[in-house]
Amino acid sequence: MKRAAIMCRVSSDEQAKGYSLDIQYEQLVTYCSRNEIEIVKEYREDHSAKNFNRPEYQKFLAFLKKNKGAIDLLLVTSWDRFSRNLTDSLIMIRTLEKFGVEVQAIEQPIDMRIPENKAILAMFLAIPEIDNERRSIKIRGGIRAALKSGRWSRMAPIGYKNSRDEKNKPIVVVADNANLIQNAFKEVSEGKPQSDIIKDLRKKGIKVSRSNMSKLLRNPFYMGKIIIPKLGNEPTQIINGIHEAIISDSLFFKVQDVLNGVTSNKKEGYSFQRDEFPLRGILFCSSCNAKLTASKSRSATGRRYAYYHCNYCKNERFPSEDVNNNMESILGEFQFTKESKTLYELMVKNLLNNKSGEDELSLDKLTTQLNEQNMRIQKLQDLYVDGNIDNENYMLTLQRYEGLRRDLKDRIEALNVTNLTYGKWLKSGISVLSNLNNFYNNGSVGHKQALLSSIFPEKIYFDGKKCRTQRINEVLRVIMLNNSILENKKSEQIYKNIELSTLVESPRIELGSKQAIK
């Protein structure tokens, strides 16, 4: 007596046509009874037959692997119950033959011993696949027709939900969580990292991966648009949907600029600047050349003391008060005579005049580029109106052109503003030089560090008593030399903490030594 596994299968759409697992089961049991076939295993599944990745079928294969020789036949009512994929079916039949199992459809029996019958088998297996593909074409056509009418008939994106209109046609409507998506777009436009936004959404019940977050932010659906994908000779199109937009066009394109790196709206990170440590990040360790950090430590008496120290080699540690006072005394040594201020004014005016001439050339060049960009946008619009470019390419190209045009306008405006403020800069520079120490003492930590970086272009070191560096700002060096000439002093005798010299600099020059700045 032969032994068999019987398999009944339906899919959701076929159930609506009257197919039933019970009817198939009854037919298969009756067939086995009449032909004296022992039923070893029974399988019932409600799954599509597009492939063999079906739960019940996988259980059947697992049984065969563990129980070789236990089954001779796999019986189904018809070949479309076995599979609706020709290629996969032929491969699976060959696989089952290796287990000693023959597949048979009781309503369409085929004698596998006759080679010519394989052509009939191929026909039985091909017809369901053709039916599937024809049905898919109709479904895709219906979906595409709905898209062209501005109607979304698939699963609604996050922030929307599927519904039906008064004619029972599928539509999407704004969901209760739409405000979370609105906030996400707004925060991205302001420079907030996507990783932080994803965490916030998850806390509020919306689980979205990093890749899906990127797709969400680039989906024009949220501004009321629908993308109709390319098909055959039809190009990709972007049309207005009948659904309600939850973000504005301007916000959507602002987010695209941020994602494409056209603008930089990132928020400033947390500031570690503290008033008592203006030299943190400015001073370097003379042992390992790493930047010195700063912190407070508590003594045995409970009092807190502030230090600049090296976290890398641990060799240097200086009281912050000593270092800060030393730097203030250095700046206090910079004294500028009336003649020095005149010299500085002449130097800056000469520099600005040269810069002004360069700016005029740059301004003419930028203006020409802006006119060319305007012409490109006008030609692009003509191509779109004449139907020579599809909607998607038009939108993408226009977005790129608009970004370039905005950049050119910003650069032109910046040059115009700069030219108007040259005079103010000159007066401000003279004021700073005249009151350098006061400007430093009254400034914020950021201003102090900017000032020191401009005065000392090279690294600054502290040995416990005085600071050392290789050179200072060239403008200050010239003014200091001018002061020495006017006052008829030797350069090395001008200042207590900074002495000028014509000697070649050493690897490190002490500001308080007789060797001077480069």
Question: How large is the average pLDDT for residues 384-389?
Answer: 76
> Is 143 among the domain residues?
no
List the single range of 46-60, 195-209, 400-414 with lowest mean pLDDT.
400-414
The CATH number of the domain holding residue 252 is 3.90.1750.20
pLDDT band at 505 (very low <50, low <70, confident <90, very high): very low
Question: How large is the average pLDDT for residues 298-308?
Answer: 84
> Which tens digit of pLDDT belongs to each residue from 62-109?
999 999 889 999 999 999 889 888 888 889 999 999 999 999 999 999
Domain boundary among 434, 451, 484: 434
The SS3 of residue 226 is strand
> Is 473 among the domain residues?
yes
Domain boundary among 417, 434, 451: 434
pLDDT band at 337 (very low <50, low <70, confident <90, very high): low
> Which tens digit of pLDDT belongs to each residue from 453-465?
888 888 888 888 8
> Is 342 among the domain residues?
yes
107 and 255 inside one domain = no
115 and 57 inside one domain = yes
Q: Average per-residue pLDDT in the chain?
A: 79
> Which tens digit of pLDDT belongs to each residue from 151-167?
887 888 999 998 888 88
Can you tell me which residue has the tokens 């394989």? Answer: 118
**Dist. CA 391–CA 375, nearest whole Å:** 19
The pLDDT of residue 19: 56
Q: Is the pLDDT of residue 29 over 80?
A: yes
115 and 43 inside one domain = yes
pLDDT band at 179 (very low <50, low <70, confident <90, very high): very high
Percentage of the residues of the chain whose pLDDT score is greater than 90: 17
Q: Is the pLDDT of residue 512 over 50?
A: no
Six token digits for residue 152: 């979304």
More confident residue, 442 or 213: 213
> Is 121 among the domain residues?
yes
* Beta strands at 160-164 and 170-174: parallel, antiparallel or unpaired: antiparallel
> Is 278 among the domain residues?
no
Q: Is the pLDDT of residue 489 over 90?
A: no
HSE-up of 106 (CA within 13 Å, CB side)?
A: 23
Q: Are 176 and 205 in contact (CB under 8 A)?
A: no
The pLDDT of residue 516: 37
Six token digits for residue 30: 């009756």
* Beta strands at 170-174 and 467-469: parallel, antiparallel or unpaired: unpaired
**Dist. CA 326–CA 305, nearest whole Å:** 18
291 and 404 inside one domain = no
352 and 305 inside one domain = no
Six token digits for residue 23: 């009817």
What's the domain count of the chain? 4
Six token digits for residue 135: 């049905």
The pLDDT of residue 498: 44
- Point out which residues pair with 228 in neighbouring strands: 237
23 and 130 inside one domain = yes
- Cα dihedral across residues 142, 145, 149, 151: positive or negative: positive
The pLDDT of residue 76: 93
**Dist. CA 103–CA 47, nearest whole Å:** 19
| Burial label, 4 (beta-carbon count in 10 A; 0-12, 13-18, 19+) | buried
The pLDDT of residue 137: 77
**Dist. CA 477–CA 473, nearest whole Å:** 6
pLDDT band at 418 (very low <50, low <70, confident <90, very high): low
Domain region containing 86: 2-134
175 and 222 inside one domain = yes
Give residues with Cβ within 8 angstroms of 335, minimum separation 6.
483
Q: Are 100 and 69 in contact (CB under 8 A)?
A: yes
- Kindly write down the DSSP assignment for every residue of 89-109, as one continuous string: HHHHHHHHHHTT-EEEETTS-
> Which tens digit of pLDDT belongs to each residue from 469-482?
877 776 666 666 55
Q: Are 259 and 194 in contact (CB under 8 A)?
A: no
The pLDDT of residue 506: 38
Q: Is the pLDDT of residue 347 over 80?
A: no
The CATH number of the domain holding residue 51 is 3.40.50.1390
206 and 104 inside one domain = no
392 and 422 inside one domain = yes
pLDDT band at 7 (very low <50, low <70, confident <90, very high): very high
Q: How far is CA 286 from the centre of its chain?
A: 40
Residue 54: name the closest of 90, 17, 123, 8 by CA: 8
- Kindly write down the DSSP assignment for every residue of 227-259, as one continuous string: EE--BTTBPPEEEE-SSPPSS-HHHHHHHHHHH
361 and 245 inside one domain = no
Q: Is the pLDDT of residue 502 over 60?
A: no
The pLDDT of residue 87: 87
- Kindly write down the DSSP assignment for every residue of 268-298, as one continuous string: P------TT-TTTTTEE-TTT-PBPEEEEEE
The pLDDT of residue 8: 92
Full-prediction pTM beyond 0.85? Answer: no
Question: How large is the average pLDDT for residues 190-208?
Answer: 89
The pLDDT of residue 10: 86
59 and 128 inside one domain = yes
365 and 429 inside one domain = yes
> Is 19 among the domain residues?
yes
The pLDDT of residue 1: 85
* Beta strands at 293-298 and 304-309: parallel, antiparallel or unpaired: antiparallel
Domain boundary among 434, 457, 477: 434
**Dist. CA 183–CA 189, nearest whole Å:** 10
Residue 272: name the closest of 294, 244, 299 by CA: 294
The pLDDT of residue 449: 83
The pLDDT of residue 383: 82
**Dist. CA 146–CA 123, nearest whole Å:** 35
> Which tens digit of pLDDT belongs to each residue from 235-265?
777 888 888 999 998 899 888 888 877 644 4
Highest mean pLDDT, choosing among 135-144, 374-383, 437-446: 374-383
> Is 491 among the domain residues?
yes
> Is 39 among the domain residues?
yes
The pLDDT of residue 484: 53
More confident residue, 176 or 147: 176
HSE-up of 405 (CA within 13 Å, CB side)?
A: 14
